[in-house]
Amino acid sequence: MPIAKLIVEISIPHAQSIKDRRQVLRSLKDKVRHGFNVSVAELDDANLWNRATLGMAAISGSSAYLSGQMRELDDALHRFANTLGAEILDSYVEILAE
């Protein structure tokens, strides 16, 4: 059964504290969980207030479905980040098939 993962590097230029960073990330994670059937987690510690790494994972019976879902998720993340004053610096999708 294929598993897809999406890793996203985020820049939050306006964040002046850990509270600002947490607010943006919480909003992003909530929007992703609500709009897509994926698991979301922060992959880094909060050493830098203006940077973050999020990881998302999904499982399905179809690699083609997962590819499309990850593409849609990546597009949505760019839109969500833009509305929150953040920027997606890099994203990486990997499909793990057995």
- Where in 1-98 does DSSP place strands (E)? 3-11, 39-42, 51-59, 87-96
Mean pLDDT, all residues of the chain: 91
Q: What is the pLDDT of residues 5-48, one digit of tens each?
A: 999 999 999 888 888 889 999 999 999 998 898 999 999 877 77
Q: What is the CA radius of gyration of the chain?
A: 13
pLDDT for 30 equals 92
Q: What is the pLDDT of residues 48-90, one digit of tens each?
A: 788 999 999 999 988 899 999 999 999 999 999 999 999 999 9
pLDDT for 98 equals 66
What pTM did the predictor assign? 0.87
Domains and CATH numbers, the chain: 3-96 (3.30.70.1120)
Q: What is the pLDDT of residues 14-24, one digit of tens each?
A: 888 888 889 99
pLDDT for 91 equals 94
